[in-house]
A and B are shown apart, each in its own frame.
Chain A
């Protein structure tokens, strides 16, 4: 699935819910949830929780850091895809609120968004048509 695909037909499969514990990474946590439940491709159907600090990418390759704790996740969308090498990669985008309620948005950088208290996430499996 590494080539550029504009349209992919498929159907929705199973649904998984997880509570991910403190200090686990948001992005890799979602990937590991797919490992735990046997999903290879999935969409986020709902998510909320908090981060210690948040780190989002910028268009010029820099990092937007928002200091907590806690930084609350107030909106999250994204997907998990299996790459050509078989590995799983989550791409998550969202809006976070700092401890004063000020909001920031962007793509979450893998490995740099440790969960603060809890992260609740529901994934729906995506089954691409063969």
Chain B
């Protein structure tokens, strides 16, 4: 079964992860006010640089963004099949080249990686060069904005920050919210 339509209520599956169960299931923080920025990703820059640089200049290092559609060159994406090595429940696949691509809708989270550099985690629905509609984890540094600017709505995460940290339960590094903030 890959895809099935049923009248019977499906039973959700509970998977076992390699690490110890963390009793905290929702790690959340809030800021008292939303701050928004409308950004244009400029032609010729990567999705990564187009997001990270202008926001860094404004003092924003943690944000949730919506990519409002646009053309990109050299798009590569990963899908998430089971981890053959058994280190985690799933592992990202090798990058799949999609060529000149229309990004239909994307969400990208900006945070800080474990080595202190900016990190962008992006998932998107895309129409690939061959015309197929696909979806997955986008490699934002190879993804170059095509001829026209791509609009992005940014919700800045103030009063806390997102940092990549090792998660023992899933045995992978994940973005998590922390109280300290560098957003100016």
A: which residues have CB within 8 A of B? 12-25, 29, 32-33, 36-37, 45-50, 52-53, 55, 58, 61-70, 72-76, 95-104, 111-114, 116-118, 120, 122, 124
Q: Which residues of A contact B176 (CB under 8 A)?
A: 19
B 85-122 to A, binary, CB cutoff 8 A, 1 in contact else 0:
00011100000100000001111110000000000011
B178 to chain A, nearest CB (A): 11
Interface size class of B (residues with CB under 8 A): 35 or more
Majority-rule SS of A interface residues: strand
Establish whether residues B27 and A23, one from each chain, have CB atoms under 8 Å apart when the complex forms: no
With both beta carbons as reference points, the residue of chain B lying nearest to A69 in the complex is identified as B90
Contact of B170 among A22, A29, A66 (CB under 8 A): A22
Establish whether residues A45 and B66, one from each chain, have CB atoms under 8 Å apart when the complex forms: yes
Q: Please judge, given known A-B contacts A16-B28, A37-B30, A96-B135, whether A23 and B15 are in contact too, CB under 8 Å.
A: yes
Establish whether residues B26 and A29, one from each chain, have CB atoms under 8 Å apart when the complex forms: yes
Establish whether residues B5 and A62, one from each chain, have CB atoms under 8 Å apart when the complex forms: yes
Quick check: which of B31-39, B51-59, B140-148 contacts chain A, the rest being far away? B31-39
Establish whether residues A114 and B28, one from each chain, have CB atoms under 8 Å apart when the complex forms: no
Bound together, the chains give a CA A45 to CA B144 distance in angstroms of 24
Apart from A14-B32, A17-B162, A120-B109, list 5 A-B contacts with CB within 8 A: A19-B174, A55-B10, A67-B2, A97-B136, A114-B12
Q: Please judge, given known A-B contacts A22-B15, A66-B2, A97-B134, whether A117 and B30 are in contact too, CB under 8 Å.
A: no
Bound together, the chains give a CA A16 to CA B32 distance in angstroms of 9
Bound together, the chains give a CA A73 to CA B92 distance in angstroms of 14
Q: Which residues of A contact B170 (CB under 8 A)?
A: 22, 117-118
Establish whether residues B9 and A103, one from each chain, have CB atoms under 8 Å apart when the complex forms: no
B 57-68 to A, binary, CB cutoff 8 A, 1 in contact else 0:
000000011100
Contact of B25 among A13, A24, A75, A97 (CB under 8 A): A24
Establish whether residues B105 and A22, one from each chain, have CB atoms under 8 Å apart when the complex forms: no
Residue among B3, B10, B13, B66 having the largest count of chain A Cβ atoms under 10 Å: B10
Give chain B interface residues in 34-48, CB to chain A under 8 Å. Answer: 34
A70 to chain B, nearest CB (A): 4
